[in-house]
Amino acid sequence: MTGADGSLVGMAATARYDEVADFYVTEMGAGLDDPATAALLDIAGDVTGRRLLDLACGQGRVARELARRGARVTGVDLSAALVEQAREAEASGRLGIEYLAADAGDDALFQTAAFDGVVCNFGVSDIDDLDAALRTVRRVVRPGGFFAASLLHPCFPGWTDNVSPSWPRGGGYFAEGWWRSQAARSLLRRQVGSNHRTISTYLNALVSHDLVIESVAEPAPPSTWLAENPDMDPVPTFLVLRCIAGPIGSA
């Protein structure tokens, strides 16, 4: 939330990522060339001089790249442990990024439309209350600003038995809800789980908050997956969306 002087204040509740923060930072690394992240940065476009919010910013990997590309960035994440990692990275190489440990769905988080855009890299499936998070997005983005998000494709059926699908085994695509993977190579999702939602749920949620889809990308799986499994057909793996915010009060 914001203080009287406009500065960011507040404390976040305990997050699932707090207990795996070190593992997550090591697992994700600092690279930005994975298909979904690269597509998200591309779909965000030229961010020079724009004020952006990185929602579910984690350790600040994407926030730092946006800042290097000329944006003024604020990062928000529920995990205080990951935010601390992001702040340490900022202290060792200052890019002017401000980080806040807070719930993306907190109605007190920001009170005015202060950002030109919001990005969310693989965060929406970690957010339990999608409607509350999108309400925040709509509130903080200036009319005409953008919301760009990347996620595991809701239609992803898995990649061999070692990589979990978007939904729990035995439940099928229409089984929405939070679940925890047991797949051997889905190391992160075995620890923190994920929220599966259908494409229609995501699209209808965007519509209800007057976030109009402007462009969509479906990045192909990494080439290493195909090389390791030459007999498997490529399947929907990632989904990246860019939306434009309508006038405040029109939703």
What are the pLDDT digits (tens) for 148-158? Answer: 999 999 999 98
Report whether pLDDT(8) > 60: no
pLDDT in tens, 167-220: 998 889 999 999 999 888 788 888 999 999 999 999 999 999 999 999 999 998
Give the model's pLDDT for residue 5.
Answer: 30
**Confidence (pLDDT) at 223:** 83
Instruction: Tell me which of 43-47, 50-54, 164-168, 198-202 is least confident.
Output: 164-168
Band (pLDDT 50/70/90 cuts) for residue 249 is low
Predicted TM-score (pTM) of this structure: 0.90
Question: d(Cα 117, Cα 128) in Å, to the nearest integer?
Answer: 22
pLDDT (mean) for 229-237? 86
Pairing status of strand 51-55 against strand 115-121:
parallel
- Structure confidence at residue 3 (pLDDT): 33
Tell me what percent of the residues of the chain surpass a pLDDT of 90: 69
- Per the CB < 8 A criterion, the answer to whether 11 and 84 are in contact is no
Residue 164: per-residue pLDDT? 87
Is residue 90 within 8 Å of residue 67, measured between CB atoms? no
CA 185/CA 159 separation, integer angstroms: 10
Query: How many angstroms separate the most distant Cα atoms in the chain?
Result: 60
Q: What is the pLDDT of residue 24?
A: 85
Instruction: Give residue 10's pLDDT.
Output: 38
Query: What is the model's pLDDT at position 6?
Result: 33
Q: What is the pLDDT of residues 92-138, one digit of tens each?
A: 999 999 999 999 999 989 887 799 999 999 999 999 999 999 999 99
**Which band of pLDDT confidence, cut at 50, 70 and 90, is reported for residue 231?**
confident
What is the C-alpha separation between 217 and 42, in angstroms, rounded?
Answer: 10
pLDDT of 73 over the 90 cut? yes
- Contacts (Cβ under 8 Å, ≥6 apart) of 97: 60, 63, 64, 67, 73, 74, 75, 86, 90
* Domains, the chain, ordered by start: 16-245 (3.40.50.150)
